[in-house]
Structure 1
Amino acid sequence: MTRLLPGIGLLISVLAIGGCATYHPLPLATRADLGASITQVLHTVPAGAGRPGVSIDVSRALSVDQIGVLAILNDPALRAEHGQSELARAGVIQSALLPNPSVGLGYAALLGGPGTTGALSASLSQDIASLVTYHNRVASARAHAAQVNAQLLWQEWQVAQKARLLALDLYWGGQAIAASQARLAALTQLSRRLQQAVDQGSLSLAALGPVQASLASQAQALQALHLTQMDNWRALDALLGLRPAVRFDIARPHPPVLPAQLDALAASVAQRRPDLIALRLGYRSADQDVRAAILGQFPAFVLGGSWSSDTSDVRSGGPTVTFDLPIFNRNQGQIAQARASRRVLHAQYQSRLDDTQASILALRARSQYLAARLGPARAAAATAGAQAEAARGAYAQHNLDQRTLDDYESTALQQRLALFDLQRGLGEARIALTLELGLGLPPARIAPLDSKR
């Protein structure tokens, strides 16, 4: 036995070292990783389950939906969130590991007395109590990993929605700026002609005042539009991982067409929305934690065996049992915490579901109202534009004064801007409603966590 002890120790050391992980450095970046052009962003959607990869042509004008996909692929914040999924998968691995058995070896050299040899001892024991909660711990970790994946999916589509809304605002904001710039250029040219007439004495200063007031007001409104446009571009560039000054073409957006069965879709939204699925998975994980905590109230139980020989070479061996007496600690704290966590998730799920249904109803009403207003707004803008054109003809024939012409042109501009705002508002309402309904999202479902993998 004495000769076997070094060999046993060497074997245990080799096995322990062979299964150890090794260190690999992961240095931090020394500079920002921001693209200088839209062509530098990731624009290929990798192939998924049952679907081929798709590449987006970033050299052409991008649709609102394409910009949303690009945001998912390039948003720096989402890259960091993907680490949470790796942590959850690591938790599954950790939960599936059984505790290592404990080995005890001992040798006592004979230093004197009637003995004839050194004393040896060996023991092997295994924690049995951890096996009682094994199934629940693994089920909880798997549900948590699926919850993290569903949460990440929901974060991706929230980023996509934000990018789509920004693209929508940028397109219609660009249209508003173009119309306002044309109006400002006309007012500037008119103001110069009137100023020359005043300087020549052929026109009174009173005729110049209203035009200059309109010019100042239009310049101020255009400045506000430019500042809003700059803020929106900066926000969209940040989502795409680009420098703040990068610009690209956005195609004319069209409001998403909503399906007719909105009531049925609203009733089944919990089966599609990743955030609601994530809360359900979180509740499942918490429920398994409650079960594990209840099973964990049973005392720790270690089963093993031992062998020994004394200095007179008398050998003995037999089983050993070690367990705690559950007098003070019966896992009451863990049970209470697990039950409280489950109650919190239960309430959060109900609150999110109620809020979702309320948002769907509100956005549907808003979408219907804006859609009903779109036709009259187009007609009003067309009428105002035609009247302004007729007023310019009358002014050229000296049948209309400058102040009246300015009123017609201002009205035409305001009607066009109102139409742009209405089209933007309808697009925003439809995009938000499709997201609330869980439409257009990748398939998300609760995986059968009890299946063997």
Structure 2
Amino acid sequence: MHRCPIARSGRGPITAVRVCRGLSALAFTLLAGCATYRPLPLPAGHGAASVGQLSAPLPARAWLPGHRFDPADGLDVTELATLAVANNPDLRSKRDALGVARAQAFAAGLLPDPQLDLGADFPRSNAADLTTGYSAGISADLGALLTRSSRVAAARSQAQQVNLDLLWAEWQTVAQARLLFEQVTTLQARQVRLQRERDAVAPLVRQVQAALRAGNLTHDAASAGLNALADVRQRLADNAVALHQVEADLHALLGLAPDASITLVGPPWQAEPAPAAVRQALDDLPRRRPDLLALQAGYASKEAELRGAIRAQFPAITLGFNTARDTSAVYTNGVTLGITLPLFDRNRGNIAVATATRQQLRDDYAARVLATRTDIQRLTADLGTLTAATDAQRRHAGELAQARRAAESGWQQGELDWPTYLTIRASALSADLDRLDLTRQQATASIALTALLGSTELTPASASARVDTP
């Protein structure tokens, strides 16, 4: 009958069944905590087929207080920004990155598993006084305890930085949604204005062409009429191409399929912060702007990494305990101690890298704050200039619109020649388009300034702030 080599000792019998049961229990315990693999196929990447398929926003958004959300009747600027934050593909990727950072922070707090060493010695002689020897030991790296607090602090600050970067990306997505709303509505207004001009000029141009064919006009005399319609058609084509681009950008921002329909309603977003509010925001900038707070968290992470690198220069210590039995059935217990001799490395390379990285982040932070203050100052001045220019252009466009209507009446009554009539219409058209461009520039500066100030309030401009297309 076969017997287990570890059969009997001076301390009592140790049966093979008991050993196997112990090892089985240990194996099941270890396997119970193991992760399992599940496949995750890649998506098709078609995007949502309609606005109704987009994810609804979270109601707890601080920058969406009391706003009625109903995309069924079209998207206003607030609803568009909200859907963009909830569905933007880039933001989803950043939220996944936040999950990675949190997982890394969790991993940084875990201590390394102890190491278990097992061994057995089988005597080659069949002498009755010899038995199978064995050894068992367990050891742990104590150096991981010394640097654990620094690793955890660095990982938590890194996760905080990723979270703040995500918040800043959400704010930038809000600004991008506002900007695209403004661009789409402005280009649509330009398209309507140019189509009206084309429809108004086309009958006159047909008369000029008929007179040219009849020989009543020379090509030199007819060129003004022919060029008027060609110029409007070219502007229409250029405007349509620009509109196609911003509509494609809007679909990409929302994660919509390219052929999905989007209806925008209501006025665009516009605000002019008061000088006192700008000064207050500048003073509070390092305490409220998410990107600056993210840089501060990144700097804290590098500070912790430097502290950990300095602590890691001390000798690494490994402590272990072991028990053994030799082939003569002599039992021993012992302690093992391993110490790294700091003769060459002493972690000097990692300390130098951490020191240089911390200095780089410090300089990056100072440069970001300075650039932000400079941009805010410039945009504040630009916004004041553009506001005055827009008001002046609005009055000028109104005067030319009256002149155009008077010229149209005079031409229909035969009191005005058609070249003069076309000249007046061209001046009125240019004034209207310039007014729309100035309105767009003013809104762009306002959106950029609000984003730089770190404001997330979504306050649409009043309906009177937007001049209807004449």
- State TM-score, norm by structure 1: 0.91
Q: Residue 240 of structure 1 aligns with which residue?
A: 254
Deviation at 1:233, TM superposition (A): 0.8
Cα deviation 1:65-121 (Å, max 9, x = unaligned): 322222222222222222211111110111111111222233323333684433232
54, 79, 96: which one aligns with 2:109: 96
Amino acid at match of 1:255: Q
Aligned: 1:256 with 2:271: yes
Aligned: 1:211 with 2:225: yes
Aligned: 1:356 with 2:372: yes
Cα deviation 1:24-74 (Å, max 9, x = unaligned): 111123x33323333332233354699999773222232223222222222
How many Å separate the matches in 2 of 1:271 and 1:422?
34
3-state SS in 2 of match to 1:261: helix
Q: Residue 6 of structure 2 aligns with which residue?
A: none
* Contact 1:279–1:345 (8 Å) recurs in 2: yes
Cα pair distance change 1:423/1:51, threshold 3 Å: closer
Q: Residue 366 of structure 1 aligns with which residue?
A: 382
Q: Residue 306 of structure 1 aligns with which residue?
A: 322
* Contact 1:35–1:241 (8 Å) recurs in 2: yes
Structure-to-structure mapping, 1:65-104, within 5 angstroms: 65-104=78-117
Cα deviation 1:139-177 (Å, max 9, x = unaligned): 111111111111122222223322221211110111111
How many Å separate the matches in 2 of 1:51 and 1:199?
63
How many Å separate the matches in 2 of 1:46 and 1:175?
33
Cα pair distance change 1:71/1:49, threshold 3 Å: closer
Aligned: 1:185 with 2:199: yes
Structure-to-structure mapping, 1:196-345, within 5 angstroms: 196-199=210-213, 206-250=220-264, 251-259=266-274, 260-345=276-361
How many Å separate the matches in 1 of 2:254 and 2:269?
22
Deviation at 1:436, TM superposition (A): 0.2
How many Å separate the matches in 2 of 1:252 and 1:208?
42
Q: Residue 52 of structure 2 aligns with which residue?
A: 39
How many Å separate the matches in 1 of 2:397 and 2:309?
67
Aligned-residue identity in percent: 34
3-state SS in 2 of match to 1:45: coil
Cα pair distance change 1:86/1:345, threshold 3 Å: same
* Contact 1:47–1:54 (8 Å) recurs in 2: no
* Contact 1:286–1:338 (8 Å) recurs in 2: yes
* Contact 1:157–1:441 (8 Å) recurs in 2: no
**In terms of mean alpha carbon deviation, does 192-201 or 317-326 score higher?**
192-201
Q: Residue 461 of structure 2 aligns with which residue?
A: none
How many Å separate the matches in 1 of 2:196 and 2:86?
37
Aligned: 1:175 with 2:189: yes
Cα pair distance change 1:288/1:246, threshold 3 Å: same
How many Å separate the matches in 2 of 1:374 and 1:411?
17
3-state SS in 1 of match to 2:72: coil
* Contact 1:44–1:54 (8 Å) recurs in 2: no
How many Å separate the matches in 2 of 1:369 and 1:23?
61
**In terms of mean alpha carbon deviation, does 202-211 or 125-134 score higher?**
202-211
Q: Residue 422 of structure 1 aligns with which residue?
A: 438
Structure 2 stretches of 5 or more lacking a match? 1-12, 459-470
3-state SS in 2 of match to 1:104: strand
* Contact 1:43–1:58 (8 Å) recurs in 2: no
- State TM-score, norm by structure 2: 0.88
3-state SS in 2 of match to 1:107: strand
Deviation at 1:246, TM superposition (A): 3.4
Cα pair distance change 1:201/1:32, threshold 3 Å: same
Amino acid at match of 1:414: S
* Contact 1:45–1:55 (8 Å) recurs in 2: no
How many Å separate the matches in 1 of 2:31 and 2:194?
73
3-state SS in 2 of match to 1:44: coil
Amino acid at match of 1:311: T
Count of residue pairs the alignment pairs up: 441
Deviation at 1:197, TM superposition (A): 4.0
3-state SS in 1 of match to 2:336: strand
Aligned: 1:6 with 2:23: no
Cα pair distance change 1:122/1:32, threshold 3 Å: closer
3-state SS in 1 of match to 2:41: coil
Deviation at 1:216, TM superposition (A): 1.1
Amino acid at match of 2:107: Q
How many Å separate the matches in 2 of 1:331 and 1:64?
55
Q: Residue 440 of structure 1 aligns with which residue?
A: 456
Amino acid at match of 2:106: I
Amino acid at match of 2:57: T
3-state SS in 2 of match to 1:316: strand
How many Å separate the matches in 2 of 1:313 and 1:190?
118
Cα pair distance change 1:208/1:307, threshold 3 Å: same
136, 143, 165: which one aligns with 1:129: 143
Amino acid at match of 1:290: L
Q: Residue 449 of structure 1 aligns with which residue?
A: none
How many Å separate the matches in 2 of 1:342 and 1:361?
29
3-state SS in 2 of match to 1:42: coil
Structure 1 stretches of 5 or more lacking a match? 443-453
How many Å separate the matches in 2 of 1:310 and 1:52?
77
Structure 1 vs Structure 2 CA RMSD: 2.3
